[in-house]
Amino acid sequence: MSKRIGVEVSIAAAEAVGLCDVDVIAAYPITPQTHIVEHLSEMVAEGHLDAEFIPVESEHSAMSCCIGSSAAGARTFTSTSSQGYALMSEICFIASSMRLPIVMAVANRALSAPISIWNDHADLMYSRDSGWIQTIGENGQEVVDLLIHAFKVAEDHRVMLPVTVNLDGFTLSHVIEPIMLPDKAEVAAYLPRYKAPLRLDPKNPVSFGPVGMPDVYTEARKAQDEALKAAKPVIIEAWKEFGDKFGRYYKPVETYKAEDAETIIITMGSISETAATAIDHLREQGKKVGLVRIRLWRPFPGTELVEAIKGAKNIAVLDRVCSFNGGEISGPVCLEVKSLLFDRGMNPKVMNFIAGLGGRDVTVQNFEEMVEKASNGAAPTPYEIINVRE
C-alpha cells in the first residue's frame, strides 16, 4: 500500500529512487541536490537499499561511473546541480549518444559567476541539447512520480535514453510536503527488472564507443534524433500506465484555466504554483487569463503545447535564465515557443519575461503584472528582465 508522509522533497526523491531498486548510485555533493544523495547513501548504509554507492571525486567521474555501470547492465542513478552539471556535461552528451538509460535528478540552480546556490534554470537550459529526456516537476509528489516514470521510460527498449528529472533547488527540493510513497511491490509491478539489450559481458563481447568516421557520424546522429522523437509516445504511454496503477495522471503540458483564456503565461517548474495564484486573482477580476506549464521539456511537446495555447491572443513566456544572445532575440523557452508557432502558421503576440534568477523571488504580484502587460500587449520585445534594480 502507498503511504502518505510529510517529508522533505529531496528525501522523498531519494526514497523514490530506492523504491526503483537501483543497483548503482555514483554521486558528488553539491547544494541544493545534496540531500538526495545523502539520503540514498544512508539507505545503503542502513541496508534498506541493496546498491553500490560510489562516492566519486567529481561530477565528471559521477557521470563516467554511471556510464560504466549502465553499460554493464545495472540500473543507475545520480543527481547534481548547476556547477556539477556543467562539470559533467562532456560526459552527459556521451551518455545519451551511447543510449544508456541513466536517471539523474537535477536540483536546478543558477550557474556561476557570481557563485549562487539558489534556484533558476540556467543548468536546465544549458543542457537542453544533450540528448537526454528532460522532465520538470512542480511539486514533491510530481518529483517522486516522475522519477519512477523516468526509469520506466529510459529502460524501455523502444527508447534507451537517459532521463533527467528536474526540480527547483531549495524552493522545491528543500520544502516539506505531504507525499504519497508507493510501496516497493507496486513499483516493481510497474517497473520490471532492467534487461540491457547490449551489455559489457565477456560472454557476449561488444565494443561500445567506437570511432565514427564521416561515413557514419550523420547516421549515428539521425538514429539518436529518431530515438528522442520516438520517446514521446512511450513517455505518454508510461504516464498512462502510471496513472492506472497509482491514480495520478500526468501529461506533457499542464493547463490551468487556459481553455477560454485570451492571455496565457507559459511557465516551468514549481514557480507555476505562484503563477496559478496570480491567475486566480486576475480571473476574480474577470480577466480571461490562464496558465500553461511545460512538464516535458525534451522531447519538446510541440503538438500538446499548440493545443494548449491555440486559442490565446497574447502569450507571455517566462524564462528563468539569462541566455546572453545579444538582445535581439528572446530567451530559450520563448524562442522555442515562437519557433513552434511560426512553423504552425500561428501568429499570437508573444512576450518574454526573464525572472527568478539566482533565487530572486517571483511574487504573485510579479506574475499579475506580467500577465497584465501581456494582456495589453505592452511588454517590450524581445524580452524584459523584471525585478531588476536600476
Partner 1 sequence: MGIASEALKNFKGFNLKNMPEVEPLSPGHRACQGCGEVLALRLAMKALGENVVMCSATGCMEIITSPFPQTAWKVPWIHVAFENAAAVASGVESAYKAMNRKGIINQPDVVFVGYGGDGATMDIGIQALSGALERGHNFVYMCFDNEAYMNTGIQRSSGTPFGAGTTTSPPGKKSIGQSTWKKNLPAIAVAHNIPYVATATPAYPVDLMNKVKKAAMVPGPAYLHIYSPCPTGWRCGIDESVQVARLAVQSKVFPLYEVIDGQYVLSRKVAKPKPITEYFKPQRRFRHLTEADVAKIQERIDAEYEDILKKCGGDGKGKEEKE
Partner 2 sequence: MAKETGIISWKKLNLGIAITEPGNASQLKTGDWRSMKPITDREKCTKCGQCYIYCPDMVYSKDAEGYFVQNYYYCKGCGICAKECPVDAITMVQEVD
Q: Which residues bind partner 1 (CB under 8 A)?
A: 23-24, 26, 50-52, 54-58, 60-61, 64-74, 76, 90-91, 94, 98, 193, 200-213, 216
Partner that binds at residue 58, options partner 2, partner 1, none, CB closer than 5 to 8 Å by kind: partner 1
Shortest spacing between CB 132 and partner 1, in angstroms = 16
Partner that binds at residue 43, options partner 1, partner 2, none, CB closer than 5 to 8 Å by kind: none
Shortest spacing between CB 59 and partner 2, in angstroms = 22
Q: If we measure between CA atoms, which residue out of 94, 95, 93, 122 comes closest to residue 107?
A: 122
| C-alpha–C-alpha distance, residues 134 and 140, integer Å | 17
Please tell me whether residue 259 binds partner 2 under the rule CB under 8 A: no
3-state secondary structure of 310: coil
Shortest spacing between CB 221 and partner 2, in angstroms = 8
Query: What residue type is assigned to position 286 of the chain?
Result: G
Shortest spacing between CB 227 and partner 1, in angstroms = 18
Nearer to partner 2 among residue 57 and residue 215 (C-beta): 215
Cell numbers for 247: 491514480
Shortest spacing between CB 211 and partner 2, in angstroms = 10
Q: Are 358 and 321 in contact (CB under 8 A)?
A: no
Please tell me whether residue 201 binds partner 2 under the rule CB under 8 A: no
* Complete DSSP assignment for 269-285: STTHHHHHHHHHHHHHT
Contact letters (x/-) for partner 2, 57-96, by CB under 8 A?
----------------------------------------
- Cis bond before residue 32 (omega within 30° of 0): yes
Q: How many residues bind partner 2 (CB under 8 A)?
A: 23
The piece of 18-26, 49-57, 98-106, 236-244 that touches partner 2 (CB under 8 A) is 98-106
Nearer to partner 1 among residue 99 and residue 295 (C-beta): 99
Q: If we measure between CA atoms, which residue out of 381, 141, 99, 103 comes closest to residue 249?
A: 141
Cell numbers for 206: 561488444
Please tell me whether residue 100 binds partner 2 under the rule CB under 8 A: yes
Please tell me whether residue 209 binds partner 2 under the rule CB under 8 A: yes
The piece of 41-49, 168-176, 219-227, 258-266 that touches partner 2 (CB under 8 A) is 219-227
Q: How far is CA 308 from CA 27, 239, 256, 278, 377, in A?
A: 38, 19, 10, 19, 20
DSSP letter for 306, please: H
Shortest spacing between CB 202 and partner 2, in angstroms = 10
- Show the beta-strand stretches assigned E in 219-343: 253-256, 263-268, 289-294, 296-298, 314-319
Q: Are 293 and 375 in contact (CB under 8 A)?
A: no
Angle between helices 9-19 and 34-45 (to 10 degrees): 50
Shortest spacing between CB 194 and partner 2, in angstroms = 14
| C-alpha–C-alpha distance, residues 230 and 250, integer Å | 18
Strand partners, 212: none
Nearer to partner 2 among residue 217 and residue 249 (C-beta): 217
- Cis bond before residue 299 (omega within 30° of 0): yes
Shortest spacing between CB 209 and partner 2, in angstroms = 7
Nearer to partner 2 among residue 219 and residue 241 (C-beta): 219
Candidates 47, 114, 210, 327; binder of partner 2 (CB under 8 A) is: 210
Nearer to partner 2 among residue 225 and residue 361 (C-beta): 225
